Amino acid sequence: MSSQVQTRETPSVTAAPAPRFDLYRMIHKTLRKMMFDTVYALGCADVADDREFHAALDQVLALCEAFDHHLQKENHYVHPAMEARSPGSTRQILDEHFEHIEEIDFIRTEVARIRTVASDTRATETHRLYLHMTHFVADNLKHMRHEELEHNATLWAKYSDAELMAIEQRIIANIAPEEMMAILKVAIPAQSHQERAGMLGGMKQSEMPRQAFEAIVQIAREGLATRDWDKLARAIGEPQVPGLVEVSDTRMSW
């Protein structure tokens, strides 16, 4: 046997670039959850139960309102920033936004009409709306994917992460407190554990008043499954049960 030891060349490893700040990530995950939840609720609603029937229609209207606000924010904050450094980069999506506004108005009109139909036609009319909403969701999934690919490419090429974060902060600063709480009720469950921990951990370390932070913690506690909440509470250093003081040493001392 040869005493010569052959060594295998180790390939050079190039570190992957750090991920860029994504303006769309959190809000699009939130909207996706709202869309899926709404279609599910509409599809399985017992239309013979007045409360359940109207609750499903209310959920459709809440989705319309969320999209209405989202489109306004993108048009007012994100698109002007893109056009300022890349003229024409928002033309396709802006045209689609106008179409979505018309679609939202149509859905609202349909909901108002369906509320008044005879009880024996509720099932047919609700199913027709359900099918229409599935197309609305499909169109918006494609629309959001375009933004996440094409718009992010433009934003990342033309803006630093610090500038993108400043755009997001301007958006957040102009959201009314009650609207923000409504968004968080969906946004927190829609994120991954790591995203939740980063979001709430950042809030805790910020200058946010403790009372406001506790209201958000309560939203998380009520909106997450027990296991998810327990993991989040540990990650951000909050008691898993309100009023419970947690200690790192489990031994009792008297």
Residue 251 has pLDDT above 50, yes or no: no
pLDDT digits (tens, 9 = 90+) for 129-176: 999 999 999 999 999 999 999 999 999 999 999 999 999 999 999 999
Tell me the pLDDT of the chain averaged across its residues.
90
Residue 84 has pLDDT above 80, yes or no: yes
Residue 49 has pLDDT above 70, yes or no: yes
The pTM for the full model equals 0.86
Residue 1 has pLDDT above 60, yes or no: no
Residues 69 and 143 in one domain: yes
pLDDT value of position 6: 46
Residues 170 and 204 in one domain: no
DSSP assignment string, 65-88: HHHHHHHHHIIIIIHHHHHHHSTT
Question: Which has the higher per-residue pLDDT, 39 or 19?
Answer: 39
Mean pLDDT of all residues in 27-34: 98
pLDDT digits (tens, 9 = 90+) for 116-127: 999 999 999 999
CA distances from 50 to 46, 115, 125, 249 (A): 8, 10, 15, 53
Residues 44 and 112 in one domain: yes
Of the chain, the percentage scoring pLDDT greater than 70 comes to 88
Can you say whether the dihedral through the CA atoms of 210, 212, 215, 221 is positive or negative?
Answer: negative
Q: Which domain holds residue 158?
A: 25-175
pLDDT digits (tens, 9 = 90+) for 216-233: 999 999 999 999 999 999
pLDDT value of position 17: 66
CATH number at residue 157: 1.20.120.520
Q: How many C-beta atoms lie closer than 10 Å to residue 73's C-beta? A: 17
Question: Which has the higher per-residue pLDDT, 112 or 208?
Answer: 112
Residues 31 and 82 in one domain: yes
Domain count, the chain: 2
Residues 119 and 183 in one domain: no
